[in-house]
Amino acid sequence: FEQAFRDHRSQLKLVLFCTTVSGGGLLAYGEAVAASEPEQKKKKVVVLGTGWAGTTFLRNLNNPRYEVHVVSPRNYFAFTPLLPSVTCGTVEARSIVEPVRNIFRKKKVNAYFNEAECVKIDAANKKIYCRSNINNNLNVKDEFVVDYDYLVIAVGANVNTFNTPGVVENCHFLKEVEDAQRIRRTVIDCFERASLPSISEEERKRILHFAIVGGGPTGVEFAASLHDFVNEDLVKLYPKAKDLVKITLLEAGDHILSMFDKRITAFAEDKFRRDGIDVKTGSMVVKVSDKEISTKEMKNGGEITSIPYGMAVWSTGIGTRPFIRDFMQQIGQINRRAVATDEWLRVEGTDNVYALGDCATINQRKVMEDIAAIFKKADADNSGTLTVKELQEVLHDICERYPQVELYLKSKQMNNVADLLKESKGDVKKESIELHIEELKTALSNVDSQMKFLPATAQVASQQGTYLAKCFDRMEECEINPEGPLRFRGEGRHRFKPFRYKHLGQFAPLGGEQAAAQLPGDWVSIGHSTQWLWYSIYASKQVSWRTRALVVTDWTRRFLFGRDSSQI
């Protein structure tokens, strides 16, 4: 108070005079001091992207000491898990999007949005270069530069075509809301074209052949949604098309939904066979022309066959955005699919740059070094072998530090190792068996260098967004009282606990009001009740009450009146 008194003596005189006149007392003095104090400069956080990772970060950031600038080519958040439902009109596109400015409106933090895409990151000078795609009637693209104190990269990924010729020109993708709307229009187009009198029977068959490339969760869900749309709604309106429609699902691997439990894979393949969806496994697409898809049949010694099609949807995985590739080169991260971060989501080789969601990956080399260190510690006598008990302890340690390793082992169906992991908390029965350390080390380090430990899902992206926002909120607090583990290198502790992914389960809607779910603890649930679980979880996960109400209304409308087949 003394200091304030000295600093603001002249103001005090004035205030005392005013308060004597107004009778406002000391309160008025306090306000005058606060108003004259220079405001502490806010740290500028630039967020790239308004998808799952970026939006969750924004929704959870509460510390008003930051000024947030968001740059993204779309001014809304889209609930991607419902995109397959948009392709068939089960849900309307507008029902699954929320304007980002609506999200800001409710925040204490100063936030600004620019509808533009980032084209270059200059990490050395802490600047990003942006270009707006808004049509300004002059055919000139507005360009601008934004500087930052912290940069959060959450730009997701783009579609991976594996450089297959003809894919970009002839296939639909299912990544954005516009893609889903385009697919919906094309499906109806195919039915209308096939109804024209000038079309031959053979051509009709071709037009009504829908090919889906990729037997992952998105491809499978789209195939199931399309099958329901055709059989529950379209065949009533286009009765002649009934016997001509064909849906084919092409998958290069041996099974569809290979990342799920074997029981789910088997159920899905069996259900699709019963529904008449042609599942072609071991079929790798090598070329797509405007009317034919060429595939290499692995089961027939690599024979090339051609399939005529009317509409093709490409859903085979994700790739790196070009400006992210440039950025990775700039910071010395070469030959990677995604930006490498440490466990605190900090981009390696940069200052104050964070990456999360589909565009990022936690550095595996570092993980491998840690795993090797854990093994070395366990094999104290240097014998090169471990008993099952020792191995279980080692794996337990690894999985506690890196839960994603357990997920990886399961996804590769290395069940023997995964079983050992599961048993590690209970009784050990196979004490006498010895396993070679090298065997497991090789298995773990054989992880394809392009493969992420964490799956590219909304679940990972949103958990990372929440984690990072909490770190930002407590940045100063944790600087003084660090809460993280001891540093491997250097003194003291890390400021924060590292990011830990919590797997909450995975769904695969299979059509006909049936779904499969793989829930934590390897609990598998398949059938109609699982579909209702899916409805309730996806309704609850909506980002606002507005979209929740719209989505539930759309589902009800569909139950009562069926899907809309107009081309709007």
User: Which stretches of the chain bind ligand FAD, using CB under 6 A?
Assistant: 48-54, 71-74, 80-81, 83-84, 117-118, 154-156, 174-175, 218, 321, 323, 357-359, 456-459, 461
Nearer to ligand FAD, 170 or 464 (CB): 464
Nearer to ligand FAD, 154 or 437 (CB): 154
Give CA separation, 307 vs 222, 230, 281, 291, 389, in Å. Answer: 20, 21, 14, 8, 53
* Smallest distance from ligand FAD to CB 359, Å: 6
For 445, phi then psi, to 5°, come to -80, -10
Q: What is the DSSP letter of 93?
A: G
* Smallest distance from ligand FAD to CB 252, Å: 19
Query: Alpha-carbon distance 547 to 454, whole Å?
Result: 28
End-to-end CA distance of the chain: 68
Query: 177, 93 in Cβ contact below 8 A?
Result: yes
Task: Write out the two tokens for 283.
Answer: 């079929």
Nearer to ligand FAD, 338 or 420 (CB): 338
CA angle 352, 354, 360 (to 5 degrees): 150
User: Is the C-alpha dihedral spanning 515, 414, 426, 459 positive or negative?
Assistant: negative
> Partners of 308 in the beta sheet?
292
Nearer to ligand FAD, 212 or 241 (CB): 212
Region for 189 from its dihedrals, namely left if φ exceeds 0, alpha if ψ lies in -120 to 50, beta otherwise: alpha
Residue nearest ligand FAD (C-beta atom): 51
Nearer to ligand FAD, 223 or 461 (CB): 461
* Smallest distance from ligand FAD to CB 181, Å: 13
Three-state SS letters, 224-266: HHHHHHHHHHHHHHCHHHCCCCEEEEEECCCCCCCCCCHHHHH
Nearer to ligand FAD, 59 or 74 (CB): 74
Task: Write out the two tokens for 339.
Answer: 């930006």
Helices (H), 145-252: 167-170, 177-194, 201-207, 217-229, 235-237
Please name which of 147, 450, 142 lies closest in space to residue 319, comparing C-alpha atoms.
Answer: 450
Nearer to ligand FAD, 208 or 328 (CB): 328
* Smallest distance from ligand FAD to CB 534, Å: 9
* Smallest distance from ligand FAD to CB 80, Å: 3
Query: 409, 461 in Cβ contact below 8 A?
Result: no
Q: What would the DSSP string read from start to end of 84-111?
A: HHHHTTSS-GGGGEEEHHHHHHT-SSEE
* Smallest distance from ligand FAD to CB 539, Å: 14
* Smallest distance from ligand FAD to CB 125, Å: 18
* Smallest distance from ligand FAD to CB 358, Å: 4
Nearer to ligand FAD, 156 or 215 (CB): 156
Nearer to ligand FAD, 11 or 75 (CB): 75
Nearer to ligand FAD, 48 or 88 (CB): 48
Please name which of 68, 42, 112 lies closest in space to residue 468, comparing C-alpha atoms.
Answer: 68
By three-state DSSP, how is residue 213 classified? strand
* Smallest distance from ligand FAD to CB 330, Å: 15
For residue 212, the Cα-to-chain-centroid distance in whole angstroms is 21
* Smallest distance from ligand FAD to CB 502, Å: 13
